[in-house]
Structure 1
Amino acid sequence: MAEHASSFKPSLSLVDATMVVAGSMIGSGIFIVTSDITRNVGSAGWIIAVWLITGFMTITAAVSYGELSGMYPKAGGQYVYLKEAFNPLAGFLYGWSFFSVIQTATIAAVAVAFSRYTAYLVPWFSESHKLWGIEKGLNAQGVMEYSFSISAAQVLAIALIMFLTYTNTKGIKGGKIIQTSFTTVKLLSLFGLIILGFLFVQHSFWGENWQTGMNATHLQQDASGNFLKDGEWLSIGGTALIGAIAAAMVGSIFSSDSWNNVTFIAGEIKNPKRNIGLSLFLGTLIVTVIYVAANLMYLNVLPLSQIAYPEGDRVAVAAANSIFGNIGAYIIAVMIMVSTFGCNNGLILAGARVYYTMAKDGLFFKRTAILNKNAVPEFALWIQAGMASVLCLSGSYGDLLDMISFVAVLFYALTIIGIFILRKKRPDADRPYKAFGYPVLPIIYIILALTFSIFLIKMKPQYAGIGLGIVLAGVPLYYLAVRIKKNV
């Protein structure tokens, strides 16, 4: 067998591609973020509305991407679409942001979530179990604080990333088996939890919670903007309500992100012109239905105050305890372990193909453009694993997630604007699939996405600003890469 393969092997069916979409979307978010959403909008109606708006945006973007995937059915996905619609700089800025924060920080956050819930079953893997650290001194409570430390949870998170990276270097087949099997298990588990939440809960809070209707409120905040657990619920409306919705949607958008990962592996999908667009629609629709149903279940089994402030924001654990008793926490822990394991496999599998395509254009490390004997970009997989591991150790992955939503939605909006540009630039190009609802639905998405981004800058200027700074830092890097390419 040759040391290197010359091209990708199309081996993923429509079902496999749909499992990549759904599996990459469902990580740990749906089990946690509804608490923050509730603190921001404070009513049953607006909790569901936030998830419906997010679902509409996600499905609209996904079916719009179907047109682009049909035009450019090759590895790289969104990087390729931005390059073709705008220019190579736009594509590079996405690829740079993808490597520095969007994909790698998501991989890190999902891996740490896996560790956190593993600690339910094996307490040794707790984040509080420090394996090494630079001591700073005791705090007022007599607990040792560290200027830098490595916990057992971080080590397990890195081990998970390395294991899944290794399995994916052995070829697309192993990654496909892991993705399809784990996604199937977590879909069935989530559906089961939702059904049991309506059938077997001892006390239903459905009527009580829905008395809040669409009366938007938020918890009182301190001078730093932190919600007060024992604060009053304050009514909100007007532009303040739009800001509250934008802040609430950070969690729902993060939970619904990564649906576009299937476009990165277009070179490995059978009949990509048909199956990528179809898998985007089916995968996002399935996940949106599950997310809305899960939140309806939360409203049935928990009072609004407990949805807003469960222990550690683990709303799914609180719901499972209400359904199953004390064993509920362990049931959810296993579900999240399965969910995050499968999610990270999809993220790791797909992400490396973006760096591969960038390297083919001379805009990334040269070795990244080489496929190994198993027809996968092995070096790209390992440098992605290295960056994600650094972010695991940084301890700042929570802050990075606030940046991801802003940066990701900004690039989604730009990519959908690209559909309009390409319709003018290349009116006669082969479009086996056209954006559903064009031009109305894509325009609505762009308006919603830009509104979200603008209000997120207003509500969380620090994180949105840093996210924008990371994107702009790619400008000098692009010109440096172009200069190196010319001199080679």
Structure 2
Amino acid sequence: MLLRNLFINSGDVVGDSSPTQLRRVLRVRDGLAVTVGIVIGAGILGTPGLIAGYLRDPFVILGMWFFGGVMAGLSTLMLAEMAAALPEAGGKYVYARHAWGDTMGFVAGWSEIFVTRGFSGASKAVLISGYLFMLVHGTTEVPATVFFVLEGPSWLGDIELSWVGVVALAVVLAYFVLHTRGLKASTTFQNVTTAIKVVIVLAIAAVGIVGGTASAGADSTPLISGEASAGLLGYALAYQSISFAYYGWEDAAKMSEEVVDP
């Protein structure tokens, strides 16, 4: 209830609202920024090398990326219909609750928070920390040196802190503080950072198209080796990584109660 009231009381009122409904302050551009900003995240930065190690062949790699994009696009269209029909905050939690009752809605919602979101947020924070280390020290190797060990309970084990872990924790706290500033502040930040990421991705693609040659795929040996070659297991592992890279396509549905015209 505290978090709900926090969002209800932030931002300007657009359209009708009630004390039990979130204010509709988001536009289509905000939903696009959230979706694109989340998709262009840790996955696209951290998985291409692994996928290259799994599949080896550049044309197979491109085909798998295309297939993953089609699957994500079809899933997005399906979820868009549900979000328009049930414009409530919560996304998959709402759909599970309407379909199977409050118990399954509860399970779906808390599973999303503890499993999916916890893993996703932690992986992004660690990736940001690793890239910052490489940028500052001018190296491609990120050491996992432990400089502090906190003794934990037997069921958890000792808690080890490294440079990457501390910076990752700082990143998570920074995002937490930003989002507690209100919906407007977090939306503006999302829009700006998404625009920057889109420009960078388009620039990289343009350089590859303009500067690439027909012989670019002659040497298909990846610099980063995966755990399997292009067998059935390799395709499965590659698609798993690609699915993680595209993950985020469903997040705009969670904000449908805050969108002016969902």
For normalisation by structure 2, the TM-score amounts to 0.80
CA distance in 2, matches of 1:177, 1:207: 40
CA distance in 1, matches of 2:182, 2:22: 10
- For residue 66 of structure 1, the aligned residue among 65, 80, 85 is 80
> Mapping of 1:408-427 within 5 angstroms?
none
Aligned to 1:122, the other structure's residue is in SS state: helix
Matching of residue 105 in structure 1 with residue 115 in structure 2:
no
Deviations 1:207-250 (A, max 9, x none): 5268x9xxxxxxx99xxxx45xxxxx6xx6xxx53x43222111
Match of residue 405 from structure 1:
none
- Structure 1 letter corresponding to 2:197: K
- For residue 160 of structure 2, the aligned residue among 149, 156, 160 is 149
Q: Residues 44 and 209 of structure 1 are in contact (CA less than 8 Å); yes or no, is this contact kept in structure 2?
A: no
Match of residue 259 from structure 1:
249
Q: Residues 72 and 246 of structure 2 are in contact (CA less than 8 Å); yes or no, is this contact kept in structure 1?
A: yes
- Structure 2 letter corresponding to 1:181: V
Match of residue 206 from structure 1:
216
Matching of residue 244 in structure 1 with residue 260 in structure 2:
no
Structure 1 residue 42: deviation in Å?
A: 2.6
> Mapping of 1:222-371 within 5 angstroms?
226-227=227-228, 241=232, 243-272=233-262
**Kindly tell me: are residues 134 and 205 of structure 1, through their superposed partners in 2, closer, same or farther at Cα, counting changes over 3 Å?**
farther
Structure 1 residue 205: deviation in Å?
A: 3.7
CA distance in 2, matches of 1:155, 1:97: 26
Structure 1 residue 56: deviation in Å?
A: 0.9
Aligned to 1:73, the other structure's residue is in SS state: coil
Q: Residues 42 and 123 of structure 2 are in contact (CA less than 8 Å); yes or no, is this contact kept in structure 1?
A: no
Structure 1 residue 39: deviation in Å?
A: 2.7
**Kindly tell me: are residues 267 and 196 of structure 1, through their superposed partners in 2, closer, same or farther at Cα, counting changes over 3 Å?**
same
**Kindly tell me: are residues 88 and 209 of structure 1, through their superposed partners in 2, closer, same or farther at Cα, counting changes over 3 Å?**
farther
Structure 1 residue 45: deviation in Å?
A: 2.5
Q: Residues 116 and 127 of structure 1 are in contact (CA less than 8 Å); yes or no, is this contact kept in structure 2?
A: no
Deviations 1:291-323 (A, max 9, x none): xxxxxxxxxxxxxxxxxxxxxxxxxxxxxxxxx
CA distance in 2, matches of 1:52, 1:86: 34
Aligned to 2:218, the other structure's residue is in SS state: helix
CA distance in 1, matches of 2:118, 2:158: 24
Q: How many percent of aligned residue pairs carry the same amino acid? A: 24
Q: What value does the CA root-mean-square deviation take over the aligned residues?
A: 3.0
Match of residue 205 from structure 2:
194
Structure 1 residue 8: deviation in Å?
A: 2.1
Deviations 1:329-388 (A, max 9, x none): xxxxxxxxxxxxxxxxxxxxxxxxxxxxxxxxxxxxxxxxxxxxxxxxxxxxxxxxxxxx
Structure 1 residue 68: deviation in Å?
A: 0.4
- Structure 2 letter corresponding to 1:44: P
Deviations 1:392-418 (A, max 9, x none): xxxxxxxxxxxxxxxxxxxxxxxxxxx
Match of residue 57 from structure 2:
43
CA distance in 1, matches of 2:49, 2:192: 29
Match of residue 10 from structure 1:
24
CA distance in 1, matches of 2:143, 2:123: 13
Match of residue 132 from structure 1:
148
Deviations 1:84-105 (A, max 9, x none): 1233333222212212210111
Match of residue 26 from structure 1:
40
Determine which structure has the larger helix proportion and give its number. Answer: 1
Structure 1 residue 259: deviation in Å?
A: 1.5
Deviations 1:155-181 (A, max 9, x none): 111111112111211210000110000
CA distance in 1, matches of 2:112, 2:46: 24
CA distance in 2, matches of 1:62, 1:41: 26
Unpaired runs of 5+ in structure 2? 10-18, 152-156
Matching of residue 121 in structure 1 with residue 110 in structure 2:
no
Structure 1 residue 46: deviation in Å?
A: 1.6
Aligned to 1:265, the other structure's residue is in SS state: helix
CA distance in 1, matches of 2:26, 2:177: 19
- Provide runs of 4+ in structure 1 moved above 6 Å: none
Higher relative contact order (Cα pairs below 8 Å, separated by 6+ residues): 2
CA distance in 2, matches of 1:57, 1:71: 22
Structure 1 residue 109: deviation in Å?
A: 0.5
- Structure 2 letter corresponding to 1:11: V
**Kindly tell me: are residues 85 and 190 of structure 1, through their superposed partners in 2, closer, same or farther at Cα, counting changes over 3 Å?**
same
Aligned to 1:150, the other structure's residue is in SS state: strand
**Kindly tell me: are residues 185 and 112 of structure 1, through their superposed partners in 2, closer, same or farther at Cα, counting changes over 3 Å?**
same
